[in-house]
Amino acid sequence: MPVPRSSQPISRRGAAAEARSSRVRPPPDPAQVSGSHASRSGLSPLYLPQLDGLRGLAVILVLLAHASVTDDLVGAAPFWRLVQVLRTGYVGVDLFFALSGFLITRLLLAERRRTGSINLRRFYVRRVLRIMPVYYISVLVVGAIWPTGPMLRTSLLLYGFNYYLPFEPTPYPLEHVWSLAVEEQFYLIWPLLVGVLPLARMRLATLVAAPLLAVGSAVLLASLVPDLLAGELIYTSLPTRAFSLLLGSYVATREFEGAPIRRGVAMPACLAGGAVLLANVIGRAVHLVPPGGWYWCGALVGFGVFAVGIVATAAAPDAPPRMVAALSWAPLRFVGRISYGLYLYHLPILYGFGINQAAVGEGGVHAARLALAYGLAAVAATLSYYVVERPLLRRSPQVTRWVERMAVRDKQAVPSG
C-alpha cells in the first residue's frame, strides 16, 4: 500500500524507509462474472461495472503516491505534496481491501444460497489461477535481478511478507506485495467461516465481532510492542487489516439479506471516517496521540470506515448516478481490470529506472522518464491480463474438475480399516 513519503509515524528508517509507501496491492479481481447473472436476492447483478472503475481509481491513487516529484513539469511539485498530504496511497489500499471483502463475500453468499454450500475446491482453484501465476513470475524475475536473502525469499514464496516487512523495512522492488499476502491469508480463512457461520449471525460477525477483534488486536499491539514496530505490524498484519476486509463483507451481507446499505448511510460513513482521520492527525500534531502504534489504531479505523463508505455508496441500489457514470467510464474500468498486474509490475519497473522513491528521496525526476516507466507498467499489465490472467481463469472449471477427480482417486486409493 503506498505509503506516502511524508512524515509517516510507522517508519523506522526516516524518509528512505517511507518508500515502503509502495505497499499497495490492487486486490486481485475477485468477482469477474457475467453481468447477465443476477444475485438471487434480486437486488443487483453480481457484476457491477462501477466497481471495476473504483478498482481503477484505487490503483491510480497508489501510482500517484509512488510517483516521485518531477523537476521539469510546472505545478508537479505542489501536486505531489498534495498527494502526500491526502495520503492517497493509504486510501487506495483500503479501497482494495474493502472491495475484496465485499466482492468475495457476495459471491460466497450467493453460492451458498443457490446450492446450500460453498465449493471450496472451486473457490481455491480460481484464486490460485487468478493470483499465483503472475505473482510467482514477478517473484522469480525480480529475485533474479535483485537477489535476496533466504528469509526474504521464503516470506515472498509463502505469502508471509506482511510479517517479514515490519522487522526488515528495507526498500525492495516487491515491498508492496505485503498486501497481497494479507489478502491471500484472508482468502484462505474466510470462505471456511462463511461456509459454517449461521447466516443469521453473518451481520453480527462482520459488523461487530470481527471489527472489534481487529481494533482490539491493534490496541494490544500498541500497548505491548514498541511504538514504531507496533505501527508497522498494525499496518501490515491480517488480524488488524481484517477491519476493512470484513466491513466490506458486512456491506455484502446486508445486500444478501435484502436490506442493502443506502447512500444515506454510506455517504455519512465516508464523512465519519474522514473525521476520525482528521482528529487523529490533529491529535498527533499536538502530541495527544503518540506516533507509531497508537496513531495507527486511529488510522486503521479512519481509513477503513472511509473506504468502506465509498464502496457501499458505489454499490448502493440508490448510488449517485453521476458517481456510477464516472466510475463506469470505459477507460477507468479497463484500468481496474488490469489493476492486479499494474500494481505488481509498476514498482519493479520504477526500481529498474532508478526512480523509485527510496532512490530519489525528495529529489526530482524528468516527467518523460516517469511517464515511460508507468507506460511500460501499463503495457506489461495489459499483456499479462490478456495472455496469462484471463486465459488461466477461463480454464478454472477444467482445473477444478481435474482436482476433484484426483481427490476422489486418492480417497479410493486409501485402504480402509
The 10s digit of each residue's pLDDT in 149-159 is 999 999 999 99
Q: Model confidence at 365, in pLDDT bands (50, 70, 90)?
A: confident
Quote the percentage of the chain above a pLDDT of 90. 66
pLDDT score of 37 more than 50:
no
CA distance 187 to 108: 11
CA distance 129 to 106: 20
Which three cell numbers, joined as nine digits, stand for 223?
A: 500497548
Can you give the pLDDT at residue 412? 55
- Mean pLDDT highest for which of 34-48, 76-90, 100-114, 345-359? 100-114
Half-sphere exposure of 271 (CA within 13 A, CB side): 6
pLDDT score of 25 more than 60:
no
Distances (CA, A) of 33 to 47, 50, 53, 411: 6, 14, 15, 32
The 10s digit of each residue's pLDDT in 234-245 is 999 999 999 999
Distance, first Cα to last Cα, the chain? 52
Q: What are phi and psi of 365, to 5 degrees?
A: -130, 160
Can you give the pLDDT at residue 408? 65
Least confident interval from 34-48, 61-75, 152-166: 34-48
Can you give the pLDDT at residue 406? 73
Can you give the pLDDT at residue 291? 87
The 10s digit of each residue's pLDDT in 253-290 is 999 999 999 999 999 999 999 999 999 999 999 999 99
